[in-house]
Amino acid sequence: MKLFTCKQIAGIDQLTMKLEPVLSIDLMERASFQIADWVIKNINHDWQIYLFAGPGNNGGDALAVARMLAWSNLKCTVYRIDFGRELKGDPVINWQRLEEQNQVILRKIDSEDSIPEIPVDAIVIDGLFGSGLNKPLDGLAKEIVKQINRSGATIISIDIPSGLFGEDNSKNDLSAIIKADHTLTFQFPKLSFLFPENCEFVGDWTVLPIGLHPNAIEQTETPYHFLTKKFISGKIKPREKFSHKGTFGHALLIAGSYGKMGASVLASQACLRSGVGLLTSHVPQSGYEIIQNSVPEAMTSIDPSETVFSEVPDISRYSAIGIGPGLDKKQETQQALKALLQAKPSKLVIDADALNILSENQDWYDLLPENAILTPHPKEFERLAGASFNSFERLQKQLQFSAKYKVIVVCKGAHSCITLPDGKVFFNSTGNPGMATGGSGDVLTGIILGLLAQNYSAEDATLIGVYLHGMAGDLAATEIGEYSLIAGDLISHLGKAFLQLE
């Protein structure tokens, strides 16, 4: 699914009106109906509803929603913010329709004294500001936001929490943003919803389709995408009847050191469960029995060192290489990593300690082969590319890094963010907090390696791998919950995840 900036969404609105064609007031009615329908289905009808309407179309939506909720006999009071300016356009029509309907109490807020006290068992519907916000909220609007946030009431935001920008909130006043429990957003999640620091404002979010025109969406170019099941399913290649293990490639995994062999075991198992034909796990001597016992399906390549990775094996036999989980950062390992990069493997996924070694040797970045896949978590990315003030800034750094070194970067987290050298950005839609557990990243490395070895392109291996990893986590969580989820559960649910994508 494409993701757009608020400005682009306004353009898609306009195009929809022209192409469908539909009047703006009717599009507003359609959007508002979706909100009202959700509210009617999801809230306790005995509760008082406080609707807050701002001066623009977001306020217009709130006014229409109030009328629709009153049809269902919900108890509504509308508070319209009055800056002393005339209402314009569709909000005026919806104000008049409300007055004519005469079933909703109408109030204006024109000073701090007229901001209502909101009981804790009320529902607040926040239609103060939407995607047309042009500067941080201040004055009366900020006071209303603070009062709503203080109330403890259940807050439902229309389209976007009032005060939050759809993209960059670096210069926003964080004390002037609604902290919604639910955000009901029109057609597309906004980019800022996907950044962890905005979770306290956005709450749970739901996308409500409002029938924006497919051609308008198609015509509007964007680098931003949200991964969907349909998109990923379309990338999975069926396994042909006459295939054999050679068809699915031979992966080399360089992982594990004395005391950290679990990383090698997990990544190896995940790689095998991702459909690879053959896997060779390169381990130090002390890891030999461990890997043979834990992953009998894997072949082994034994390092001369007793404890760490110290020497690159002959890489010519392998279709793809994964390196990093559990490696440690010993001097000999650092030099061996450098030698591997100098050998220019054509398909490479780099994780964990291999990334940490790289960040301590930044002059090696130029050795990174084109389309290498780097899978840092935010801390590892910070070591690679420097600290960022927030996720939006980090995304800009990530894009620069991908473009400069021609590599794919996966910044792992809720909605893991993937950047490609050509500037495209993909946010993942699968996964849950149960996956924030040791070894989860090793599993991802194994999955991506397995897909790479099967000759998926670096881009596809990354997108499929990230999506599958999260999906396996979601399937595991439905069975055992998020608390007890461990990395091994991701591996045991990979098969079911693949089945869902067929």
Ligand X SMILES: NC(=O)C1=CN([C@@H]2O[C@H](COP(=O)(O)OP(=O)(O)OC[C@H]3O[C@@H](n4cnc5c(N)ncnc54)[C@H](O)[C@@H]3O)[C@@H](O)[C@H]2O)[C@H](O)CC1
Helix (H) or strand (E) holding 254: strand 250-254
303 touches K ion (CB under 5 A): no
CA distance to 147, 188, 444, 486, per residue, from 263 (Å): 49, 37, 11, 13
Q: How far is the CB of 214 from ligand X (least distance, A)?
A: 14
Integer Cα distance of 119 and 106 in angstroms: 18
CA distance 137 to 426: 30
Candidates 186, 195, 224, 392; binder of ligand X (CB under 6 A) is: 186
Cis peptide bond prior to 119, omega within 30° of 0: no
Hey, is 21 helix, strand or coil?
coil
Among 3, 22, 31, 145, binds ligand X (CB under 6 A): 31
From residue 32, alpha-carbon distances to 60, 186, 203, 397, 450 in Å are: 9, 10, 20, 38, 46
Instruction: Find the binder of K ion among 154, 157, 183, 280 (CB under 5 A).
Output: 157
Is 259 assigned to a binding site? no
Size, binding site for K ion by CB under 5 A = 6
Return the residues of window 382-401 that contact ligand X according to CB under 6 A.
Answer: none
Binding ligand X (rule: CB under 6 A), the pick from 51, 95, 125, 159 is 159
What residues pair up with 184 in beta bridges, in sequence order? 158, 206
- Cα separation, 318 vs 330, in Å, equals 25
Say whether residue 57 binds ligand X (CB under 6 A).
yes
The site that binds ligand X (CB under 6 A) totals a number of residues, namely 29
Q: How far is the CB of 70 from ligand X (least distance, A)?
A: 19
467 binds ligand X (CB under 6 A): no
**Partner from K ion, ligand X, none binding residue 476, C-beta < 5-8 Å depending on class:** none
Q: From the list ligand X, K ion, none, pick the one residue 137 interacts with, judged by a Cβ distance below 5 to 8 Å according to partner type.
A: ligand X
126 annotated binding-site participant: yes
Tell me which of ligand X, K ion, none is bound by residue 57, counting a contact when its beta carbon lies within the kind-specific cut-off of 5 to 8 angstroms: ligand X
Q: Which of 3, 5, 8, 9 binds ligand X (CB under 6 A)?
A: 9
Q: Which residues, listed in sequence order, are joined to residue 224 by a DSSP beta bridge? A: 425
Element (H, E) at 252: strand 250-254
Per CB under 5 A, does 29 bind K ion? no
Instruction: Give CA–CA dist 421/423, Å, rounded.
Output: 5
Neighbours of 438 (CB within 10 A): 11
- Binding residues for K ion, rule: CB under 5 A, are 58, 126, 130, 157-158, 162
Give the annotated binding-site residues for AMP.
412-416, 441
Residues placed in the known binding site:
57-61, 126, 130-136, 159, 162, 263, 326, 377, 412-416, 441-442
Residues that bind ligand X (CB under 6 A): 9, 13, 27-28, 31, 54-61, 129-135, 137, 141, 158-160, 186-187, 210, 212
